Amino acid sequence: MVETDEIDTYRAMQRPVRWRLRPEERRVVLLIGDLVINYFALFLALYFWASSDHWLSFSIQFVKERTDYWFYLLPLFWVLLIIELYDERAASRRSEIVRGVAIAAVISLGLYFMLYFSSSPRSLPRRGVAGFIIAASLLTILWRLIYIRIFTAPMFMRRVLIIGAGRGGTTLVHVVKEIWPQPFFLVGLIDDCKDKIGAQIDGYTVLGDSQKVLSIIEKEHITDLICAISGEMSPELFQMLLSAEERGIEVTTMPVIYEELLRRVPIFLLQSDWILRSFLDQTHTGGFYEMTKRLMDIAGGLFGVICTIILFPFIALATLIDTGLPIFYLQNRLTRNGKIYRIIKFRTMCKDAEKDGKARPASENDSRVTRVGRVLRKSHLDELPQFINVMVGDMSLVGPRAERPEIIEELQNKVPFYRARLLVKPGLTGWAQINYGYASGAEANAVKLEYDLYYIKHRNILLDFTIILRTLGTVVGFRGQ
């Protein structure tokens, strides 16, 4: 949590300025900056490449005779590799930027080496590609640090007023309090309950009732209103919100902002009929997405099966020496629409890990994990045989974590909307896995479900690709559990 004096200083820097950037506008700024920087990196790479050429110096002739068309696509490929850095929160953190650029550099080098050693001699420009990767890495970090310095300054922040100081409004205040840099400047809250007026919620004041909203908007230069009222809204408040919208103030609901900030769905703040009223309509995807996703699954599954075959002798030998047979671990899991299938993994736990017959989900630092199993889990190599499940269509590369029928039956009685995760196929990796990791207990599984439902609502090829890249970063960083 950020220190109180740091937050007070941050608030004191606020000044009414007309130009304030929304998340999508910030992403456009980032994209334009990345493209400019990366094509400049391409120019530097060409110059570096030409400087080593004894026959042609850097010139139009060199560009025509020595470079292929694919070389000029490298900046676009680099943008895809750093796609997770277009998240507003990641783009505002120096550590995330350095980590994301490092992962992109490692992945691009790995892919290039694969192509280089599988192609004919001297067919690929080593110096040109190496020069681009180095230049793009350094210049991207430099540009992103400049972005943090300029575009996350208070003068570019939205000024927000929360309507409702009940459960929804209080939850949102807690969320904003825990995020740093803050996503927007929260001026305060509004509530029609007289007992709450003047009260403090995590340092933010309930400024008045709904009759004072328009005057507070004018006085505090409010740019956004967030409606955090889950119950029935009074006609006066409804009319006030319409009047604010007419004045150019953007009115948004609390669940939308919650998803925007945390990339999760606030399951405990939603009505019981939310699934039918809202969620199901937003989960429908087009045929193009489904076809593309299946092609990705087949291509990725084929690559994974080949990797499994190559690594199987080494993993099998290590497992035999450590704890003996069996090598594989088969277990019933549920796929889309609640159908049962058999998942395949390399065994990482001791034999008879559930000898009493009671289903227990894996936990962090689980004592049942073997020595070899711990290495397999850290590197995610234990997941390799699941590519067979992906190939046959029981699973996808990306989706909610595959779970056992007994555990789903138990959690659906404790966690709201838990069974909604079965609307899509489970995945080898997923939004919840890369953002939260293992979960034990109803409370932790509720958080993971919030991530899963966010993925189901917003899934698209770009999000799937982002999840795969972040998973590769986890594998490269050896950060599995």
317-352 per-position pLDDT tens digit: 999 998 888 999 899 999 999 999 999 999 988 877
Strands (E), 202-256: 204-208, 224-227, 250-253
DSSP state letter for 52: T
DSSP letters for 245-288: HHTT-EEEEHHHHHHHHHSS--GGGS-TTHIIIIIHHHH---HH
Mean pLDDT of 270-276: 82
**131 or 450: which carries more pLDDT confidence?**
450
Winning range, highest mean pLDDT, from 273-287, 393-407, 465-479: 393-407
Do 459 and 428 contact (CB within 8 A), yes or no? no
Mean pLDDT of 106-118: 80
**Angstrom distances, CA of residue 119 to CA of 64, 124, 125, 380:** 22, 8, 12, 29
The token duo for 1 is 């949590």
Is the pLDDT assigned to residue 2 strictly greater than 50? Answer: no
pLDDT tens figures, 387-406: 999 999 999 999 999 999 99
The answer for 3, left when phi > 0, alpha when psi is -120 to 50, beta otherwise, is beta
DSSP letters for 282-321: HH---HHHHHHHHHHHHHHHHHHHHHHHHHHHHHHHHHHH
Range of weakest confidence among 4-13, 51-60, 203-212, 461-470: 4-13
Is the pLDDT assigned to residue 60 strictly greater than 70? Answer: no
Long-range contacts of 24-28 (CB under 8 A, 24+ apart): 26/88, 26/91, 26/151, 27/86, 27/88
What integer pLDDT is reported at residue 89 of this predicted model? 78
Write the CB contacts of 298 (distance below 8 Å, at least 6 apart in sequence): 391
The mean of the pLDDT values for the chain is: 85
Mean pLDDT of 126-142: 90
Helix, strand or coil for residue 182?
A: coil
Q: Note the Cα 326 to chain centre separation in Å.
A: 36
What integer pLDDT is reported at residue 64 of this predicted model? 60
Do 344 and 328 contact (CB within 8 A), yes or no? yes
Is the pLDDT assigned to residue 236 strictly greater than 90? Answer: no
pLDDT range class, residue 182, cuts 50, 70, 90: confident
Tokens 């404790």 belong to residue? 414
**Angstrom distances, CA of residue 181 to CA of 56, 261, 394, 421:** 50, 12, 41, 31
Do 204 and 171 contact (CB within 8 A), yes or no? no
DSSP state letter for 183: S
363 burial type by CB count under 10 A (0-12 exposed, 13-18 middle, 19+ buried): middle
Q: Which domains does the chain have, with CATH numbers?
A: 21-151 (no CATH), 157-262 (3.40.50.720), 287-350+363-476 (no CATH)
Among 447, 439, 388, residue whose Cα is nearest residue 415: 447
pLDDT tens figures, 81-103: 898 888 877 888 888 899 889 98
pLDDT range class, residue 129, cuts 50, 70, 90: confident
The residue type of 237 is L
What integer pLDDT is reported at residue 35 of this predicted model? 95
pLDDT range class, residue 478, cuts 50, 70, 90: very low
What's the first-to-final CA gap in the chain, in angstroms?
25
Q: Note the Cα 203 to chain centre separation in Å.
A: 29
pLDDT tens figures, 293-314: 999 999 999 999 999 999 999 9
Range of weakest confidence among 34-48, 50-64, 447-461, 464-478: 50-64
Do 371 and 322 contact (CB within 8 A), yes or no? yes
**161 or 115: which carries more pLDDT confidence?**
161
Range of weakest confidence among 156-170, 207-221, 258-272, 347-361: 347-361
